[in-house]
Structure 1
Amino acid sequence: MSGVTSSARAAEQPRPALKVGFVLSKNFTLSAFALFVDTLRLASDEDDRSSRRNCDWQVLSSNGHLIRSSCGVQIAPAVGLPDPKEFDYIAVVGGLLNVEEPIDDQMQAYIKRATRENVRVIGVCTGSFVLAQAGLLKRRTACVSWLHHNEYVERFPDHKITSNQLYVEDQEIITCAGGSAVADLAASLVRRHVGNKAERNALQILQIERRREGKEVQPRNPLATDHRDSRVRQALIFMENHIDKPLSMDKVAESIGLSRRQMERLFDRRLGLSPAAVFTRLKMRRARTLVLQTSKPLIDIALDIGFENSSHFGRKFRETFGYTPNTLRKTQKEQGFVHLDDDLFETAANR
């Protein structure tokens, strides 16, 4: 009938299998939002036509004003707040941490209402800080980027936290470290609600080789983020930034204003290891990430972390972890992913 309105036609359409409402904080991270939305968009049909057959999304706001990202790009939200139960998830996208009020009181109340009504909530990037500030993470583990680990601990000292994993689903709340992990999370939700084919379509167009599981280790996760001693923390960051080349321990000591002998005593007291041994372990942890998350030949990985040949690298890898790089890759191929208990530094990190 020609008299049927567009809104009526829309009402007749079946509800998509996955619908996400986005709450964008002031100075939000554009890449995190864009990766999430584009994964949904590309999973929505088979022909990259941006239809919303399988997935739908909406940017939410209490006032309808443009929302500015940290890079200056602005997003126009929808006007009015629908019932939270219209969505499968409410995703709060965080941004710069120096913003005093990342979302207004009305949006905070909306998120709390969503949790009361059993709508699952996601903290994306520093969205975990927004959820914690709203009191929603007190009895849950928050997953944050290693970059923001210390600040989260300072702001919420009584909360549980991990900065090793890509994302964590704890009851009805998910928190994601941000960066490329957002695409992994979004793809996992597509797989859960829409199916394997939609997930595969999205990842292939995004040119992502495989979806990483939430328990996989963040690509750059220096021990420094967990350590209380600022001098140790600075030294470890310096090491981590020079992980692809030979590094003199004299240079490390110089970077923190100590003599080499003073630094060695400090490391022995705080970590129970020599600086050189810690540097080797950092190299090995980086190598393990490359073995798991890339298809690089082992000789290239060895060169990437400063080894001259793959045989020396392979021996040191086995000495560190108890298995070879090839064994690790084979296990991942057979199981889909490998959950690693990253205990290389766990005991020493809090001394």
Structure 2
Amino acid sequence: MTLPEAQRPLSVGFVLLNRFTLLPFAAFVDCLRLSADEGDRSRPLRCNWTFMTSSGESAVASCGAIISPCKTLRDPQAFDYIVVIGGVQEEREKADQRAVEYLRQAAQLNVPIIGLCTGVFTLIHAGLMAGKRCCVSWYHHGDLTRRFPDVTPVADRLFVDEGHLITCAGGVAAADVAAYLIERHLGKAWAMKSLHIMLIDEVRRGEHPQPQPVIFERVEDRLVRRAIDIISQHLGEVISVEELAKRIGTSRRNIERKFQDELGVGPQRFSRNLRLRYGLWLLHYTDRSITAISERCGFADSAHFSRHFRENFGYAPSSVRKSGSPLAENQVDPFFLHIDSHATKW
């Protein structure tokens, strides 16, 4: 007896590429697993999934974990969705041609395809992204732009749904994509059940912004770039100039001089202003309290944060929450925070 459409299990085929990234794979498949059955029993009743590689051999993740057994590439029409997961990118390595042809076949058969993490590179190799928005992690944005200048990547959101093509930045956002599909096919209750068991307390839609790094490609001095990299990775703490100089192998006097020459401010003020801009981003895109944001940005207390915030932006943090106005272009770019030497006020 054929089950009604609403009762058919959601079937997903995973194409695991060489050195695929484990986290987006695990986040996606575990979200399916938890929605497939009552509690945590893991029976594939409402959802089922198949792991595939081009050769049918075990798949080795970038961290060394092995997924086994895997099947050879099955008929695309056996699945409601095909999920391709990429990993470490080496330009000298050729694209998996069997996977490329398989994805082309799936597209011709109108089987929806999902590219997770660098799986989107394989979709590009297959010629499927022409004229489409292509979601990619900020980490791979520059690489994709350089290697595929005809493709316009989107790196300011978690995932993009173009109908039969969904692309996702990867990481834990893979769980958001899985929940998005589960809600569509099985209902919101099953999607929320999965997320809650995974200790994810909210549904994030595709337009939810990716946390953004500092992009400093236009800063010419090598030591300044290294210092900015360290500062941007420690936005929740204050690193002394002495410690910063020690980490990059120079003197305090030298790094202060180089910052002044390159950016017009010293490293201490640069760090504080960068943490304030991070605070502004958090005020707009999260519901954390001002006290929590102050702590997250490395300030001693909310009064200290608020005073410097007002000095830097001309208004209090509380006014951001009250107005809910979009970010001004001269304050924080919600896509990337570009540092363009003296062109940016620090």
Pairwise TM-score range, normalised by the shorter structure: 0.7 to 0.9
**CA spacing shift, 1:77–1:236, aligned 2, 3 Å:** same
Match of 1:313 in 2: 305
**2:103 corresponds to which letter in structure 1?**
I
Paired residues of 1:89 and 1:122 also in contact (CA < 8 A): yes
CA drift of 1:197 comes to 0.5
CA drift of 1:29 comes to 1.4
Match of 2:199 in 1: 207
**1:246 corresponds to which letter in structure 2?**
V
Q: Deviations over 1:1-25 (max 9, x none)?
A: xxxxxxxx9x879763532211001
Match of 2:26 in 1: 34
CA drift of 1:248 comes to 4.7
Matches within 5 A, 1:150-299: 150-219=142-211, 221-224=212-215, 227=218, 229=220, 231=222, 233-248=225-240, 255=248, 259-267=255-263, 278-287=270-279, 297-299=289-291
**2:39 corresponds to which letter in structure 1?**
D
**CA spacing shift, 1:172–1:65, aligned 2, 3 Å:** same
CA distance in 2 between counterparts of 1:264 and 1:176 reads 39
CA distance in 1 between counterparts of 2:300 and 2:333 reads 28
CA drift of 1:347 comes to 8.5
Paired residues of 1:281 and 1:344 also in contact (CA < 8 A): no
Paired residues of 1:150 and 1:226 also in contact (CA < 8 A): no
Identity among equivalent positions (%) equals 35
C-alpha RMSD of matched pairs (Å): 3.6
Match of 2:328 in 1: none
Q: Secondary structure of 1:153's match?
A: helix
CA drift of 1:77 comes to 4.7
- Give the stretch that moved more between structures: 113-122 or 128-137: 128-137
Match of 1:144 in 2: 136
**1:148 corresponds to which letter in structure 2?**
H
CA drift of 1:327 comes to 5.9
| Structure 1: gaps spanning 5 or more residues | 1-8, 332-339
CA drift of 1:326 comes to 8.5
**CA spacing shift, 1:52–1:70, aligned 2, 3 Å:** same
CA drift of 1:192 comes to 1.8
Instruction: State the TM-score, normalizing by the size of structure 2.
Output: 0.79
Match of 1:69 among 51, 61, 66: 61
**1:264 corresponds to which letter in structure 2?**
Q
Q: Deviations over 1:33-73 (max 9, x none)?
A: 11110000111123222122322211123432111112222
Paired residues of 2:215 and 2:338 also in contact (CA < 8 A): no
**1:95 corresponds to which letter in structure 2?**
G
Paired residues of 2:17 and 2:53 also in contact (CA < 8 A): no
Paired residues of 1:166 and 1:214 also in contact (CA < 8 A): yes
CA distance in 2 between counterparts of 1:299 and 1:229 reads 36
**1:262 corresponds to which letter in structure 2?**
K
**CA spacing shift, 1:308–1:180, aligned 2, 3 Å:** same
**CA spacing shift, 1:341–1:42, aligned 2, 3 Å:** farther
Q: Secondary structure of 1:21's match?
A: strand
CA distance in 2 between counterparts of 1:110 and 1:242 reads 43
CA distance in 2 between counterparts of 1:55 and 1:102 reads 33
Match of 2:107 in 1: 115
Paired residues of 2:11 and 2:80 also in contact (CA < 8 A): yes
Paired residues of 2:290 and 2:317 also in contact (CA < 8 A): no
**2:169 corresponds to which letter in structure 1?**
A
Q: Secondary structure of 2:298's match?
A: coil
Match of 1:133 in 2: 125
- Give the stretch that moved more between structures: 169-178 or 276-285: 276-285
Q: Deviations over 1:230-287 (max 9, x none)?
A: 746434312112322224567657849654233233225xxxx876665345323433
**CA spacing shift, 1:307–1:183, aligned 2, 3 Å:** same
Q: Does 1:342 align with 2:338?
A: no
CA distance in 2 between counterparts of 1:182 and 1:159 reads 22
CA distance in 2 between counterparts of 1:12 and 1:154 reads 48
Q: Secondary structure of 2:55's match?
A: coil
| Structure 2: gaps spanning 5 or more residues | 325-331
**CA spacing shift, 1:165–1:137, aligned 2, 3 Å:** same
